[in-house]
Structure 1
Amino acid sequence: MSVLSRRSTVYMLLIGTLVLMLSPFGWLAITALKDSSELRALPIHWWPHHPNLGNFTEALTLFDYLGYARNSLTIATLYAVLVTVASAWAGYGFARLEAPGKKVIFGVLLSTMMLPGVITLIPTYLMFAKLNLVNTYMPWVLWGLSGAPYLIFLFRQFFTNMPKELEEAAIVDGCGQVRIFWRIFLPQSWPVIATSLILSFSWSWGDYIAPALLLDDARTTLAVKLATGYVNEHGQQLGNVVAAGAVMYVVPVLALFLIMQRGFISGISTSGLK
């Protein structure tokens, strides 16, 4: 097989994979343009006969869409920034500092990634309830300040691969560990920072369980409201309006990824196992 044939085969496989990955979003966008009658029609109408952009207007006005989007944006941004800084600081400690039992603690930290979140759901709620933090955004602040095991792992791997000479030169100049982290290591870790911001923002933006459990209807997020807010006077869900709201719902995450995609790809590729 010639080089041109192999390249063509690879391109065809990549295009096929891309189409397969984008097909759910494509179907969602098509559904968002359909009338309610077309959703119930048999056989299935794969393409709307009369595209209805009014579904998007209805999705914005049936409830305070922008208000709930603001709640989601506040929580996701707050969590993403805090968890990125906390994970970077913890990753720096595991990578560059020495302490008894460091490897054991790091192993325990990684093992927590295998713990299903549903196991800690009720204890977490009871803890926040006793601290009077239910129906506030403080749980996301505390989660952010605690760091995330996977992000700590990424930062630790990145900082481990940085030259020892940078740290030694800073120590000679009289810098302490805090200053070395903030002035030298953190600015050099932009690829991992971009990765952390994208992942943590996506986690919080798409989370349904925690806001449904901890927040009331006025302070809850767009993810929760999308699941419950689009019904008619008979309590039946408006599938086409839900699809329109969901299409707009993914726009902030897509925009964030497009802005920071180069750093995201670089961060994933440079933070592997040493």
Structure 2
Amino acid sequence: MVLITLLILALLFVGPLLWLIGVALKTPDELSAYPIRWLPAVFQWENFARALTMIDFWRYLTNTLELATIYASLVTVSSALVGFGFARLRGKGKQLLFLVMLSTIMLPPILTVIPTYSLFTHLQLIDSYWPWVLWGIASTPTITFLFRQHFSTIPVALEEAALLDGASYFHIFWRIFLPLSIPICVTAFILSFTWAWGDYFSQALFLSDDQATLAVAIANGYSDPTGMPFTNILAAGTLLYIVPILILFLFAQRTFVRGIVLSGLK
């Protein structure tokens, strides 16, 4: 019974991906045919070649990799630093401040769009990657929580021994705690990278066409002069779009899972 349930759930998760693959390999006539054909008569592999050439795919891919890497790297370091402060430093109001930070998770991002856009426009940071740099430096509540939970499990003896040797708290964080948190760092990087990679709204709002990312280019680029989308080409481009994320996760899945487990020990 358990195996059957797992198979059903697996099909529910994999089903949309299989449908997307089927659409990407069909001709336009097969997409509009009735009754629906689940498999194409002839696999149209050239749809993937057209997806690469109809837009400047490699330039947009480079833009997306650059933006996502910058944001994920900054979020990982800044969230680790803030999580270390909440886990190991002492001060009045620390728990209250931590609860306030966690409560911001419940704030819908759409509520801050207008003030954020007004602020970045006033600072003349539109059409650049600076918004993602500032967001990265500011850390995120979810990643900070992961680091805080993990840092709380590290024995106090390590910290006390380093303090007796004259080390500063930043030295303790950088030379002791961070090297012990590689799985958490990998988890934080993957989560942040995936968010930046898959974000469409912010990138469409803050970036110009020259700096546009792959999400924006795919959403707007595969259409005819009247604006009607080429559904099969759009599906092929979408599959190519998710390949880097799948590769990243496949190579780092063990460390990713270990990081989630370690962050939940306490």
Q: Which category of TM-score, normalised to the shorter sequence, fits these structures?
A: over 0.9
Match of 1:38 in 2: 30
1:202 is matched by which residue type in structure 2? T
Q: Quick one: percent identity of the two aligned structures?
A: 50
Match of 2:11 in 1: 19
Partner secondary structure for residue 250 of structure 1: helix
Match of 1:4 in 2: none
1:102 is matched by which residue type in structure 2? K
Q: Does 1:107 align with 2:63?
A: no
1:128 is matched by which residue type in structure 2? F
Query: 1:181 pairs with 173, 177, 180, which one?
Result: 173
Match of 2:120 in 1: 128
The number of residues matched between the two structures is: 266
Query: 1:119 pairs with 111, 117, 122, which one?
Result: 111
Match of 2:254 in 1: 262
1:225 is matched by which residue type in structure 2? A
How far residue 13 of structure 1 moved from its aligned partner, in angstroms, is 2.9
TM-score (structure 1 length as normaliser): 0.95
Aligned pairs for 1:236-251 (under 5 A) are 236-251=228-243
Give CA-to-partner distance per residue, 1:87-127, whole Å, 9 cap, x none: 00000000000011100100000000000000000100000
Query: 2:54 pairs with 53, 57, 62, which one?
Result: 62
State the distance in 2 between where 1:15 and 1:269 align: 25
Match of 1:28 in 2: 20
1:224 is matched by which residue type in structure 2? V
Give CA-to-partner distance per residue, 1:107-161, whole Å, 9 cap, x none: 0000000000000001000000000000000000000000000000000000001
State the distance in 2 between where 1:18 and 1:169 align: 49
Partner secondary structure for residue 235 of structure 1: coil
How far residue 15 of structure 1 moved from its aligned partner, in angstroms, is 3.0
State the distance in 2 between where 1:69 and 1:140 align: 17
Query: 1:47 pairs with 39, 61, 68, which one?
Result: 39
Give CA-to-partner distance per residue, 1:217-257, whole Å, 9 cap, x none: 11111111111110123321100000000000001111111
Q: Does 1:202 align with 2:205?
A: no
Partner secondary structure for residue 225 of structure 1: helix
Match of 1:80 in 2: 72
Give CA-to-partner distance per residue, 1:44-100, whole Å, 9 cap, x none: 110011110110010000010111111111110000000000000000000000011
How far residue 174 of structure 1 moved from its aligned partner, in angstroms, is 1.8
How far residue 273 of structure 1 moved from its aligned partner, in angstroms, is 6.6
1:240 is matched by which residue type in structure 2? N
Q: Check the 8 A contact 2:153/2:265 in 1, yes or no.
A: no
Q: Structure 2 stretches of 5 or more lacking a match?
A: none
Over the aligned positions, Cα root-mean-square deviation in angstroms equals 1.1
How far residue 23 of structure 1 moved from its aligned partner, in angstroms, is 1.2
Q: Does 1:212 align with 2:224?
A: no
State the distance in 1 between where 2:179 and 2:89 align: 18
1:247 is matched by which residue type in structure 2? L
2:167 is matched by which residue type in structure 1? C
State the distance in 2 between where 1:36 and 1:80 align: 38
